[in-house]
Every structure is written in C-alpha cells, then in structure tokens.
Amino acid sequence: MRLRNIKGSRDIIATSPYVIHDIEEKKGKWNTVFGNDHPIYIEVGMGKGQFIIEQAIQHPEINFIGIEKYSSVLLRAIEKRETLEMDNIFFIRMDAEHITDVFDQDEVSRIYLNFSDPWPKDRHAKRRLPSRQFFDRYNKILKPDGVVEFKTDNKGLFEFALEEVVEAGWDLKAYTFDLHHDENMCKGNIMTEYEEKFSSMGNPIHKLIADRE
Ligand code: SAM
C-alpha cells in the first residue's frame, strides 16, 4: 500500500506523540516507553493501522507497536489514533529490514504479518515479510515461546510462507486456507483493512501461526 504523497506528512509524523523516534536507542528498553512490563506485540506492515489499533483497544494488558514503511500510510494510523484514549500503542516509521537494530533478543512476544506485499518476482523473494530471511530476523527479537501470525488472501504467498517457516527451522503450530470458516482459528479474529476488502470479494483468507517450541 502506498498512498499519494501527502504534503507535510513527514512534519506531522516528526512531531506526533504517537510515533517513536530515535528507535535504535529504545532497543532493549521498550518497556520504559510504555512504563510497564506488559508483553509487546508488533505488527510489521500495519498499513493504516485498523487491525493493531483494534487489538490495542481489546487488550489493554498488552503493549502494541505498529511498524509501517511509508509516511503517507502511517499518517492515516496517526489520525485514527488521535481520536482514541489509550496508552498501550505506539507507531514506528521504518523498513522492517532493520528490525533487529530496534528490538533486542526476547523483547517481543508476538509478531503479526497481515496481507504482506507479495513481491512476485523470484529475485525479490527475500523482501517478502514471511521469507526465511525475515524469519531469521524475527528469531533474534522474539521470546522463546513467541509466535508469528500471518494472514493473507494470496495463495501463492501463503504457500511460499508455509515452506519458508520450515526452511527457517520454525514449526507450523496451526494453519488454515479458509480462516473465516475455521471455527477454532477464527475465534477472536480481528479483521484488517485488506481482509475486509478481499473477503468481501469472496476471497478465502489464509492464516498460519509459527513458533520455535
Ligand atoms: N496490514 C495491513 C492490512 O492488512 O490491511 C496493510 C497491508 S498492505 C498490503 C502492506 C503494508 O505493509 C503497506 O502499508 C506497506 O507499506 C507495508 N510494508 C511492506 N513492506 C514493509 C517493510 N519492509 N517494512 C515496513 N512496512 C512494510
């Protein structure tokens, strides 16, 4: 997702109290940002933030961090956030390629990947967020009992992810090719913006949960 460049979005982001800057200095110290020791869940590629903001509303006992690469998209999440009273969510603007510079070993308890960009060309496979290269990065920041949860309607990307989990030495804890008709896996499901759009067009939603236990 890349929106038209919005004039001034960088300035708004630079001064927003909901966006954390100097992120490399926060490595190993994210609990001080929230002022408590609650578990930290992150969404990589949060888009306009619908999913992670709703998670934060429903789970005040968890700290959430939404990561997004593009200012124009992050701006939309900030606008939503500004209408809400809560203290358990912050945003970061960054390319997740550098995620290990920002979070320390065992600092994160859960990683959400939702409707990640497919990067269809083979030579770009390592840019896909559920690729083995990214699982190696997630391995460096996730607690031993932490999980990665990935949802998409893109069957090719999902099948790629199923293979990459195993190639990266992780385990498939659960998966389904039709989340919305899987009673167990759909329990408590929060729809992302893309999930609403593609499921309303009749596309089945695929989901996997990966861990290292
Ligand atoms: N997760 C949202 C949803 O399900 O509605 C948005 C999905 S959108 C297709 C993917 C988002 O991930 C885009 O906003 C894109 O800018 C962001 N993204 C892709 N690669 C990224 C990366 N390496 N680091 C941070 N954000 C990334």
Q: Is 117 a catalytic residue?
A: yes
What tens digit of pLDDT does each residue of 51-95 get?
999 999 999 999 999 999 999 999 999 999 999 999 999 999 999
Tokens of 64: 């959430």
- Note the pLDDT of residue 13: 94
Pairing of strands 206-211, 142-152: antiparallel
β partners of residue 108? 142
Q: What is the pLDDT of residue 8?
A: 76
What letter would DSSP give residue 19?
Answer: B
| Distance separating alpha carbons of residues 211 and 24, to the nearest angstrom | 26
Active-site residue (options: 37, 95, 106, 117) = 117
- CA 45 / ligand 1 centre spacing (Å): 3
Spatial contact of 194 and 157, defined as CB atoms under 8 Å apart: no
What distance in angstroms lies between residue 117's CA and the mean position of ligand 1's atoms? 6
Residues 179 and 159: their CA atoms lie apart, in Å, by 15
> Which SS3 state, helix, strand or coil, does residue 143 take?
strand
Q: How many percent of the chain have pLDDT more than 70?
A: 97
Instruction: Determine how β-strand 63-68 pairs with β-strand 108-114.
Output: unpaired
Q: In the predicted model, is pLDDT for residue 113 greater than 70?
A: yes
Ligand 1 center to residue 129 CA distance, Å? 9
Average pLDDT over residues 190-209: 98
| pLDDT attached to residue 158 | 98
User: Do the beta carbons of residue 213 and residue 182 sit within 8 Å?
Assistant: no
Q: Provide the 10 A C-beta neighbour count for residue 20.
A: 18
pLDDT of residue 2: 58
pLDDT tens column, 3-27: 566 767 888 999 999 999 999 999 9
Residue found under tokens 């999980």: 147
pLDDT at 132: 98
Residue 150, pLDDT > 70, answer yes
What would the two tokens of residue 53 be? 């903001």
Confirm or reject: Cβ of 46 under 6 Å from ligand 1. yes
Pocket lining: 131 vs ligand 1, CB cutoff 6 Å: no
For 38, the token pair is 């609650």
User: Which among 40, 45, 48 has a CA at the least distance from the CA of 129?
Assistant: 45
Average predicted confidence (pLDDT) for the chain = 96
